[in-house]
Amino acid sequence: MCVYRSFIRPLLFQLEPEQSHGLAHEFIAKGTPLLAAFGKKFIYSGSDLKVSLFGTTLSNPIGLAAGFDKNGDLVHGLKYLGFGYAEIGSITGQAHEGNSKPRLWRLASDDGLINWLGLNNEGAVKIAERLATSKFSVPIGITIAKTNKPNITGNAAYEDMLLSFRAIRHLPLMYVALNVSCPNTLDGVLEETGILSSVVEQISKENAANLPIVLKLSPDSSDKLIEDMIEMGKKFSIAGYVCGNTSVSRAGLNTAEAEDIKVGGLSGPPLKPLALSLCRKVYELKDKNQIIMGCGGITNGQDAYDFIRAGSSVLQIYTSLVYEGPSVVRKINEELSALLKRDKLTLAQAVGIDCSAKARQ
């Protein structure tokens, strides 16, 4: 019997989604000794899923996706939830309270979420100061986005993203992600590489520590925009892609009320087909040395395996942590390990195996 699903989740789900997130967050932030005591329960102990990401060996390929620890105050405890790594943020140049409420909805019949949080965070400088004195229990990446204010455009948008990069570039990070695909900003979604290209070019000039830079892409982007992003990624030696962000799609949902939620990005199982398709497209177009971090609706080992076979080297989860609780990472790893054994493949051998032979060469 799963204690989380049977007892804790029903209590948490009595509360507003943001309130229960706050409680879970508080528990991880303050309850690390308790989590550490339960450590064995949540940590995958096998060594078959160890994977190297940008030169760092991860204990397993499952990372915490962006948005759960927006302000970097959980980094000391994330190991005890079994994660192999975590992505902090998105952080922005200015502190921002996010969009007005309501802005987070559960789709109970889909095990999904719709969020319209709008990049609420304490701002790059404050978060960087916190991280500079924090103990990272797992390797950390950080994602940067533009402050969610429509009046920050053009050169100001460029400066805003660079401010964040300059604030964090001295930290011992595994990578920096540029979130150019958030559907929850008041500016609307990105439709061309324009300003982003200048940001990436300038970051590559100022990146003295050679931090790997990755782009987080949207499953809603046109093929043309994806091609342009990857073209730009090759030009500026981008290290990889997160595939991907939440979607504005509401297709195929079982939760009737979802129709009425006009804003926000969809996450969880209904996102999986869109994210997988993005992953495959990117795998076919990218350079061989660029990696994919697969993300979108990963809830069990089969989902993880599908993303790996579609070209992902590592994975990220958010929504399944909400629905399945803290044992989900271990469960995904155990099931993934069994699937690899069944097919007599190592993790590395499985990456991209469903993609074209040309892309795998």
Ligand X SMILES: Cc1cc2nc3c(=O)[nH]c(=O)nc-3n(C[C@H](O)[C@H](O)[C@H](O)COP(=O)(O)O)c2cc1C
- Supply φ then ψ for residue 175, to 5 degrees: -165, 165
User: Of residues 9-28, which lie at the interface with ligand X (CB under 6 A)?
Assistant: none
CA distance 284 to 25: 38
| C-alpha span between 360 and 309 (Å, rounded) | 11
Backbone angles phi, psi at 240, to 5 degrees: 175, -170
Q: 61 Cβ partners below 8 Å, 6+ apart?
A: 49, 51, 84, 304, 308, 313, 314, 315, 336, 347
Q: Is 161 in the site for ligand X (CB under 6 A)?
A: no
| Residue of 62, 74, 86, 113 that binds ligand X (CB under 6 A) | 113
Element of type H or E holding 361: none
Taking the complex as a whole, the smallest distance from the CB of residue 351 to ligand X amounts, in Å, to 19
Backbone angles phi, psi at 137, to 5 degrees: -85, -15
User: Which C-beta is closer to ligand X: that of 67 or that of 325?
Assistant: 67
Q: Is 115 in the site for ligand X (CB under 6 A)?
A: yes
3-state secondary structure 110-147: HCEEEECCCCCECCHHHHHHHHHCCCCCCCEEEEECCC
Give the shortest CB-360-to-ligand X separation in angstroms.
25
Question: At closest approach, how far in Å is the CB of 354 from ligand X?
Answer: 20
Residue nearest ligand X, CB atom distance: 67
DSSP string, 57-121: EESSSEEEPTTSSTTS--TTTGGGGT-SEEEEEEE-SS-B--SPSP-EEEEGGGTEEEE-----B
| Cβ closest to ligand X, residue 179 vs residue 193 | 179
**Residue 247 binds ligand X (CB under 6 A):** no
Residue 256 one-letter amino acid: A
Nearer to ligand X, 65 or 174 (CB): 65
| Number of residues forming the site for ligand X (CB under 6 A) | 28
Q: Is 182 a catalytic residue?
A: yes
Query: Of 33 and 252, which has the nearer Cβ to ligand X?
Result: 252
State the nearest-atom distance from the C-beta of 278 to ligand X, in Å: 11
Q: Which of 238, 298, 310, 329 binds ligand X (CB under 6 A)?
A: 298
Among 142, 176, 214, 271, binds ligand X (CB under 6 A): 271
Rounded Cα–Cα distance for residues 196 and 154 (Å): 10
* Cβ distance to ligand X smaller for residue 26 or 343: 26
CB 224 within 8 A of CB 191: no
179 binds ligand X (CB under 6 A): yes
Stretch that binds ligand X, among 30-38, 77-85, 220-228, 315-323 (CB under 6 A): 315-323
Report the distance separating Cα 355 and Cα 57, nearest Å: 25
DSSP class of residue 297 equals S
Cβ proximity of 68 and 88 under 8 Å: no
297 near ligand X, judged by CB under 6 A? yes
Residue recorded with tokens 């495959």: 280
What residues are paired with 62 via a beta bridge? 315
Q: Which of 148, 185, 246, 313 binds ligand X (CB under 6 A)?
A: 246
Binding mask 185-224 for ligand X (x = CB under 6 A): -------------------------------x--------
Nearer to ligand X, 261 or 345 (CB): 261
Rounded Cα distance between 57 and 49, Å, is 10
Residue numbers 321-340 binding ligand X by CB under 6 A: none
Q: Which of 71, 319, 333, 337 binds ligand X (CB under 6 A)?
A: 319
Active-site residue identified among 2, 182, 295, 355: 182
Candidate ranges 218-226, 228-236, 263-271, 345-353; the one touching ligand X (CB under 6 A)? 263-271
Of 31-39, 110-118, 163-171, 256-264: span binding ligand X (CB under 6 A) = 110-118
Helix (H, G, I), strand (E, B) or coil at 13: coil
Q: Which residues pair with 45 in a beta bridge?
A: none
Structure-block tokens of residue 149: 């204010």
The Cα 247–Cα 256 span in angstroms is 17
Position 22, amino acid: G
For the annotated catalytic residues, the residue numbers are: 182
Which residues are at the interface with ligand X (CB under 6 A)?
A: 65-67, 70, 89-90, 104, 113, 115, 117, 119, 143, 179, 182, 216, 245-246, 267-268, 271, 295-298, 317-320
